[in-house]
Structure 1
Amino acid sequence: MSIFKSILTKIFGERDAATPAAPTAAPGAATATTMPQVDVEVVLMQMAAASKQKLDWRRSIVDLLKLLGLDSTQDARRELAKELRYSGDMNDTATLNLWLHRQVMTKLAENGGRVPNSLRA
């Protein structure tokens, strides 16, 4: 499983955020299905409240990954960057980490999450 898919699963649960659920409407009825939007900030705040660690998940990709119980090592972050098509210098970890955090929050929003602009900046 990809690292980003693991992030999605941790926040959205087992549902596949990229694939809408099959419609359950009667034949001839409208087939559009709406899935409830997940409030990413609320989910992460609840996880943080239950955590014994003080994690700055709002600004740090390392702390976000730790909060989700995922590998936060530099190698894992580089792998995530490759998944998300980072084109910058992989050795510039400060820039990479800032980009990763913004990109993860943006991708969560694209996959059905409600993510405040403050977390995508």
Structure 2
Amino acid sequence: MTVREVAATTGISKSSVYHIITEILQKRKIAARWVPHFLSPEQKATRQDICRELLSRYENQGETFLDRIIAIDETWIRDFEPEIKSQSNIWAGKNSPRAKKVRRQQTKVKQMMIFAYD
């Protein structure tokens, strides 16, 4: 809720509501931290296993292992209307962690992009 909404609901002035929230309740506005997407515990475990395997191969084969890697990434680039940062602000305590929010809101407009690098 905004200070204006709280003031309208309670009948208290905006400055009084702001003082109560910030000084007495020790709250401040923080924005959610943008993350590209959320991973399930299984997806995180799979990524961890792959990283361990690659590290093991690097330790055994050295720089020659890195010379043989070609990475290809294929992704859909979508047109989206992101929420501006101030729209995701919430009142929170001094030590409150930031909320996480997925950045993109998918729409029907998209393009396939393929990247290859070594």
Per the TM superposition, whether the score is higher than 0.5 is no
Greater per-residue helix proportion: 1
If you compute each CA radius of gyration, which structure gives the higher value, 1 or 2?
A: 2
TM-score, with structure 2 as normaliser: 0.21
Kindly indicate which of the two structures has a greater share of residues assigned to strand.
Answer: 2
Structure number with higher relative contact order (C-alpha < 8 Å, ≥ 6 residues apart): 2
**What is the TM-score of this pair, normalised by structure 1?**
0.21
